[in-house]
A and B are shown apart, each in its own frame.
Chain A
Amino acid sequence: MIWQIIILIVLIILTVGAAIYAVVAKNLLYAVVSTGLISLGLSMFFFILQAPDVALTEAAIGVALTTIIFIITIRNTTKYEDVSDKKKSIERRKND
């Protein structure tokens, strides 16, 4: 019983943390990868809550297909929401 609660708490922290990071992140690629993490956490939740059908769908579509389609879109457009973010990251890379 206690390990189930521990797993649940870890999953909640992972999912909510990934969701917050997806909103906050400046680099869109990181945001997309963290939405994939949200789907992973959600599919574990569905499995724990005894809905394996939905868990399978979420794992296949949310983690793999949606993420890859977003990544392709980002490769075709720009990586940053804002032009100033792009400049900042280039400067940071130069300073390192």
Chain B
Amino acid sequence: MIKKVLVIALIAVIGFSLMNVMLQIPFGEKRETVGDYYLQKSPQELKVANSVTAIVVSFRGFDTLGEVTVLFLAAMSLASIMYRRKRKGDIEIRAKKPSSRILQVGAQIIFPMVVVLGAYVFIHGHLTPGGGFQGGAIIATASLLMLITYRKFKVNHNTITWIESIAGIVFVGIGMTGLLKGLTFLQNFLELGELNSLLSGGIIGIIYVAVGFKVAAELTGVIDTVLLNNRPDNNDNN
């Protein structure tokens, strides 16, 4: 009883102090001009049609590098906990029966289309909605479809590690090239091109392609690790 009263009192105090702060902010009023700045500068100076991409990769490029690092660390720690080599007596979590013919044929038709869609999304990240993270997630979904449909579909972890490492090196290397040319980290040093063409935006397109490869490889590795490496003794619970 005392515990509950204490909790309610604590919530009331926190709510009151938060409300005091929130009431100071006028509702629906324009208080900062940074949004207008981005909307003006991204087509004019960076020649990027999708201003979300301009913010994520150029204005806030360093944050994106941090995000990629966080994803990499998460995937790596998951793999270090879950991944192990196959031993005798391991039971795979995948279905024991082969999946139905309809699913197999459908997956064969859909898989290349989804991969192409994902590649389109991250190659055209600076022109249309989407970008590296979205395209990578779409490609990972395609490989997930193959993994749950075909029991013999294997993902090579060495290849995944190579793709991940090369993509990360490309990202950091492009940033460092900016430094070598006498600019700041991740500043544009290529020709900007024309607005709304594929080769516009300088380094933004290259960075998003690298991010797309990296995210696709990481998420595929995560799914494969979770799907295939299970302890046999936990498997008969359900």
Contacts and interface: CB of A to CB of B under 8 A. Distances in A.
B204 interface: no
Contacts of A60: 134, 137-138, 140-141
Interface residues of B, number: 26
A75 B141 CA distance: 20
A60 B139 CA distance: 9
Contact of A52 (B130, B138, B227): B130
Interface residues of A, number: 19
Task: Give the secondary structure class of B's interface.
Answer: helix
Given A65-B223, A76-B235, A78-B237, A53 B144 contact: no
A61 interface: yes
Contacts of A64: 137, 141, 144
Given A65-B140, A65-B144, A57 B133 contact: yes
Contacts of B131: 53
Contacts of A78: 237-238
A4 interface: no
A75 B228 CA distance: 12
Contacts of B238: 74-75, 77-79
Contact of A75 (B93, B121, B137, B231): B93
A53 B52 contact: yes
A72 B93 contact: yes
Interface of B: 50, 52, 93, 121, 129-131, 133-134, 137-138, 140-141, 144, 148, 219, 222-223, 226-227, 230-231, 234-235, 237-238
Given A53-B131, A65-B219, A78-B237, 11 more contacts: A56-B121, A56-B129, A64-B137, A64-B144, A65-B137, A68-B223, A73-B226, A75-B238, A76-B230, A76-B234, A77-B237
**Cβ-closest 7 pairs across A and B:** A52-B129, A60-B137, A56-B134, A64-B141, A53-B52, A53-B129, A56-B130
